[in-house]
DNA sequence: GAGGTGCTAGTCAAGTTTGACTAGGAGGGC
DNA sequence: GCCCTCCTAGTCAAACTTGACTAGCACCTC
């Protein structure tokens, strides 16, 4: 899951820069833990990878009045591009966690863009639900998983609930 | 995610033994990929860890008529105990993937036990939904995540859909 | 002023996951 | 026979995640 990467990019993007502990704190303050688990280690790891990949630039370690020195990171242009790319992908995803993170950061994109992405997401989601329903009523093939029908129902139900939620968000954005 | 561990244990438990490729194939045949992604590497890794931990015993490599030699694994008593433990945990989980895997293998437990686990799951899930709804209507605190209300709605909607699904499974099992 | 507590800031080893890669064997086409 | 393809069976390095751990600093208490 490179959701962590998106989350870190998104938080750094808010102010253009941040140090690791600030990101970590923000992840804690927001109840990010409700929608996706992000451990401190993952955050620092992501920061390092992003810095290595030129998405963030590590500034010189600065002194802190309240504790050890800390490293501040600044978002680069490439970093912003990756943020947008990942954010758009998240807003088109069927994965509930990705979708949640996408919506959390959606204000970083133009409204029209978000609307288009969500329209697309909904269309594909509905097609997917239809496909799963079709599978559901098919005569069971050989060698299927036990309780395949139930499992399909689980996915259909959740996809459906998610789609209704997306619909709500989309409606609020107003007509395209 | 040690869901892979549960899946591998569950598949090996079906016949008491299996070799890696057979597990991999079964994961492919079943549309396990709909409910959870399991890569080949993870399967072989899990098999090795399970063998190291005494949950499986690796039998001598046997020749195969259709390809390279293969290693067959047999479930041990300790392994079966871990299987049951993980299965029960999965059936009490709120995580949709875990729950799906749990239901896929639920026939390995006595019906009554499954009924009790699902009853418990539903009770906790309803409490959780109530709690989230309460959070939802709370006056927003300082420093909340952007779109916190929406994110809560997403979780409430999905948890709710999942709970209705569990209810269906539970009902079918008959009265406790 | 020594020690305890709690927040700040981050490191690290162990475990897990991913996706690409290797390599054996069977069968078909030419 | 030789090559190509596809299935069988698994390995491996790189990346990612986890949870426990270290260490600086301030404040309080005794």
Nucleotide nearest to A47 in CA–C1' terms: C10
Is B125 in the same domain as B58?
no
Is B73 in the same domain as B117?
no
pLDDT at residue number B140: 67
Is A133 in the same domain as A86?
no
pLDDT at residue number A54: 96
Is A115 in the same domain as A35?
no
Alpha helices in B16-147 (DSSP H): 20-29, 32-35, 40-52, 77-91, 96-104, 111-137
Is A20 in the same domain as A100?
yes
- What is the number of domains present in chain A? 2
ipTM of the complex: 0.91
**Domain that residue A8 falls in:** 3-104
Residue B92 placed within a domain: no
| Contact residues, chain B, for A32 at CB < 8 Å | 145
DSSP category for residue B65: T
Looking at every residue in chain B, the average pLDDT score rounds to 92
Local confidence band at B62 (pLDDT 50, 70, 90 cut-offs): confident
Residue B1 has pLDDT above 70, yes or no: no
pLDDT, average across residues B100-110: 96
Taking the CA of residue A51 and the nearest CA in chain B, the distance in Å comes to: 25
> Cβ neighbours of residue B51 under 8 Å, at least 6 residues apart?
B57, B58, B73
pLDDT at residue number A144: 77
Residue B144 placed within a domain: yes
Residue B102 placed within a domain: no
pLDDT at residue number A37: 81
Is B121 in the same domain as B69?
no
pLDDT at residue number A146: 84
Residue B114 placed within a domain: yes
Is A117 in the same domain as A164?
yes
3-class state of residue B63 by DSSP = strand
Higher per-residue pLDDT: A105 or B63: A105
* Closest Cα in chain A to B154: A165
Is B72 in the same domain as B128?
no
Give tens-digit pLDDT for A13-50. Answer: 999 999 999 999 999 888 766 677 889 999 999 999 99
> Cβ neighbours of residue B95 under 8 Å, at least 6 residues apart?
none
CATH number (domain holding residue B20): 1.10.10.10
If phi > 0 it is left, if psi is from -120 to 50 it is alpha, else beta; for residue B143 that is: left
- The candidate with the shortest Cα–Cα distance to A32, out of B148, B49, B32, is B148
pLDDT at residue number A76: 97
pLDDT at residue number B32: 66
pLDDT at residue number A142: 66
Interchain CB contact of B33 with A (< 8 Å): no
Local confidence band at B142 (pLDDT 50, 70, 90 cut-offs): low
What are B72's two structure tokens? 């067959």
Last residue of a domain, one of A104, A127, A160: A104
Taking the CA of residue B119 and the nearest CA in chain A, the distance in Å comes to: 17
Q: For chain A, give the DSSP string.
A: -THHHHHHHHHHHHHSEEEHHHHHHHHHHTTHHHH----HHHHHHHHHHHHHTTSEEEPPPEEETTEEEE-EEEE-HHHHHHHHHHHHHHHT---HHHHHHHHHTGGGS-HHHHHHHHHHHHHHHHHHHHHHHHHHHSPPPTTPPTTHHHHHHHHHHHHHHHHHHHHHHHHHT---
3-class state of residue B48 by DSSP = helix
Residue B154 placed within a domain: yes
3-class state of residue B68 by DSSP = strand
Is B8 in the same domain as B79?
yes
pLDDT at residue number A33: 63
* CA B122 – CA B127 distance, rounded (Å): 9
Is B72 in the same domain as B129?
no
pLDDT at residue number B66: 85
Residue B95 placed within a domain: no
Are B109 and B88 in contact, with CB atoms under 8 Å apart?
yes
pLDDT at residue number A66: 86
Residue B67 has pLDDT above 80, yes or no: yes
- The candidate with the shortest Cα–Cα distance to B104, out of B6, B171, B175, B16, is B6
3-class state of residue B12 by DSSP = helix
pLDDT at residue number B104: 95
Is A150 in the same domain as A165?
yes
Nucleotide nearest to B65 in CA–C1' terms: C25
Local confidence band at A1 (pLDDT 50, 70, 90 cut-offs): low
Burial of B151 (0-12, 13-18, 19+ CB in 10 A): buried
Query: For chain D, which bases have at least one atom within 7 A of a protein Cβ?
Result: 7-13, 15-20, 23-26
Local confidence band at B33 (pLDDT 50, 70, 90 cut-offs): low
DSSP category for residue B107: G
Residue B64 placed within a domain: yes
| Contact residues, chain A, for B32 at CB < 8 Å | 145
Last residue of a domain, one of B32, B67, B83: B83
Give tens-digit pLDDT for A49-84. Answer: 999 999 999 998 888 888 899 999 999 999 999 999
Residue B161 has pLDDT above 90, yes or no: yes
Give tens-digit pLDDT for A118-136. Answer: 999 999 999 999 999 998 8
pLDDT, average across residues B47-64: 92
Are B23 and B43 in contact, with CB atoms under 8 Å apart?
yes
A95 CA, C23 C1': separation in Å?
37
Identify the helix (H) or strand (E) that includes residue B62.
strand B62-64
Is A10 in the same domain as A94?
yes
Residue B96 placed within a domain: no
- Tokens 């209810």 correspond to B167
pLDDT, average across residues B91-117: 96
Last residue of a domain, one of B67, B83, B99: B83
């Amino acid at each position: 899951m490179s959701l962590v990467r998106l989350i870190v990019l998104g938080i750094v993007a808010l102010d253009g820069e941040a140090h690791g502990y600030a990101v970590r704190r923000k992840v804690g303050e927001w109840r990010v833990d409700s929608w996706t688990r992000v451990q401190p280690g993952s955050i620092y790891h992501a920061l390092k990878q992003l810095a290595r990949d030129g998405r963030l630039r590590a500034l010189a370690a600065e002194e802190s009045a309240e504790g050890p020195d800390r490293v501040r990171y600044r978002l680069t242009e490439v970093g912003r591009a990756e943020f947008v790319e990942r954010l758009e992908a998240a807003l088109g995803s069927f994965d509930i966690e990705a979708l949640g993170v996408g919506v959390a950061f959606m204000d970083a994109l133009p409204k029209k863009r978000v609307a288009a992405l969500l329209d697309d997401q909904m269309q594909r989601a509905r097609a997917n639900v239809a496909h799963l329903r079709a599978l559901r009523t098919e005569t069971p093939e050989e060698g299927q998983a036990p309780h395949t029908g139930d499992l399909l129902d689980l996915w259909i139900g959740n996809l459906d609930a998610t789609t209704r939620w997306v619909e709500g968000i989309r409606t609020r954005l107003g007509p395209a």
